[in-house]
Structure 1
Amino acid sequence: MNLIGYMEERFQNLEFIPSIYNQWGTGIHFCLGKNIYQLKENEELNLKRFQVVYEQITIIFNELFEQNDDIFLVTNMYKHKKEKCIRKLKVYQPFLKCKNHLNQIMVKTYPYPFEINKAEEYEMQQFSLLCKPRDLRVTELLKAASNEDFPQKPKFGGYSIDYPDVFFVNITKDIIFFIYDDRGCEVIALDFKRIRHLYEKYHDWVEEYK
């Protein structure tokens, strides 16, 4: 199975870009690290906040994914068209337990999806890998996804104009999980019954649901 075929069958017309929650009729938008500011009064990073965020996204991931689930790890890399290639390995290689998976990564190029000046000069390369959570260094991946705006490690590399967007697509359970940065994450599903327990158990983290 490839990503395009799966999406056409299960999540028709959904675009893999930030705010998947706003595109789909069934989902939960979580607010992370509530009431804990990213910086201290002296402008140093508030590491307590990041620790809370890491714990929250790990809990949510573990509620949604089991080690043997089949998933697509999808990464959007944004680049100038004149740039010959994007170093996808900087996103995948550090987080794969088995480097043989690098040979299985698929790529498709799309128009740049955001409204900016001279958007036609840019493009999006979308990489996807069919694997299982047990194949990934999940903890490090989740941290890198949430560290977008701050000099925290781990970080995704290989990007030229925008930080990569990474989506976890559980094709066993028909659920998609996206961390947009340290402020929050989104979960959508074909059937709300599959994510209702998240809403009930972690209601205090919920920003919106539908």
Structure 2
Amino acid sequence: MSQNEITLEKPLFYNNPFGLRFEIGPTEIGAWVNREKRKFNEKYFDAALERAQRIFDTAFSPLDDISIVYQIFSDGRRKVKKNDYILRQINTIITNEILFSKHREIYSENLNYKCQHWHRVTVSGLKTENVNINKILLSLVNTDFGVRSPSVGGECYFINHTKSLVLNLYDDRGMDVVALKLETLLPLYKTHTEWLLSYDREHIDEVFSQI
């Protein structure tokens, strides 16, 4: 699967042919013990990370051929650096397929000036086992809570070329997994149906009832 066949733009679920949308942070627990005092509920973050990791492990096997895409909004000055947190979790020694690129075809309605674009790095030629997945997922769970470490401000997409799907954990609230064929997502749908986001569950169930 070519990454160009999937639109790497949030919300991934709504921008691609077939998808699943999972609730990651369990709302019945809640992220805060005391919001005014900025005291977090660690059980919430532990549960969110565990859920994200379990879904990921269903979608990706250790020896699957994958790529990692990380992208950030740039006003012309910002760019992805080689020592950014996401890249430090990838064993880049085993691949020389690291591509830095600029994009204006995504989120184009929000690009008001010529200098604005999305700065992207794509690391290909990887196996899942070459990446510290848990630490990346943790940083994405924390992305809306800047005081928690690690956290990242950009978007990370895991592209599974072996199974022809793309996964994006957009923050602690949810994760999208999309594919070009509905059948590709069936194992995920069956295994983790209880974690489907309630807002989109009716639509997802209706789509998968056609198989």
* Structure 2 match to 1:32: 24
For the residue of structure 2 that corresponds to 1:60, the secondary structure is helix
User: Does the CA contact (< 8 Å) of 1:93 and 1:102 recur in 2?
Assistant: no
User: Does the CA contact (< 8 Å) of 1:79 and 1:86 recur in 2?
Assistant: no
Provide structure 1 residue ranges, at least 5 long, that are not aligned to the other structure.
157-162
> Does residue 7 in structure 1 map to residue 3 in structure 2?
yes
Distance 1:107 1:115 in 2: 23
Distance 1:50 1:67 in 2: 24
* Structure 1 match to 2:118: 124
Change (3 A) 1:39 1:117: farther
User: Does the CA contact (< 8 Å) of 2:168 and 2:177 recur in 1?
Assistant: yes
For the residue of structure 1 that corresponds to 2:162, the secondary structure is coil
Kindly, what percent of the aligned residue pairs are identical?
21
Provide structure 2 residue ranges, at least 5 long, that are not aligned to the other structure.
none
2:181 maps to which of 191, 199, 202: 191
Distance 1:133 1:92 in 2: 14
Q: TM-score, normalised by structure 1?
A: 0.83
For the residue of structure 1 that corresponds to 2:54, the secondary structure is helix
> Does residue 106 in structure 1 map to residue 99 in structure 2?
yes
Q: TM-score, normalised by structure 2?
A: 0.82
Q: C-alpha offsets along residues 17-53 of structure 1, whole Å, 9 cap, x if unaligned?
A: 1111101221100112232221123541111111010
Distance 2:111 2:65 in 1: 39
User: Does the CA contact (< 8 Å) of 2:26 and 2:47 recur in 1?
Assistant: no
Q: C-alpha offsets along residues 84-125 of structure 1, whole Å, 9 cap, x if unaligned?
A: 7432421344202x3425753101101272655845442211
Change (3 A) 1:105 1:92: farther
Distance 1:90 1:102 in 2: 17
For the residue of structure 2 that corresponds to 1:187, the secondary structure is strand
User: Does the CA contact (< 8 Å) of 2:71 and 2:80 recur in 1?
Assistant: no
> Does residue 155 in structure 1 map to residue 148 in structure 2?
no
Q: C-alpha offsets along residues 125-183 of structure 1, whole Å, 9 cap, x if unaligned?
A: 11111111111111101111221011222223xxxxxx110000001110100000000
> Does residue 45 in structure 1 map to residue 35 in structure 2?
no
Instruction: Give the aligned CA root-mean-square deviation in angstroms.
Output: 2.2
Change (3 A) 1:61 1:120: same
Deviation beyond 6 Å, 4+ runs, structure 1: none
For the residue of structure 2 that corresponds to 1:194, the secondary structure is helix
Amino acid at match of 1:173: K
> Does residue 143 in structure 1 map to residue 135 in structure 2?
no
For the residue of structure 1 that corresponds to 2:138, the secondary structure is helix
For the residue of structure 1 that corresponds to 2:177, the secondary structure is strand
Distance 1:129 1:94 in 2: 12
Distance 1:153 1:84 in 2: 21
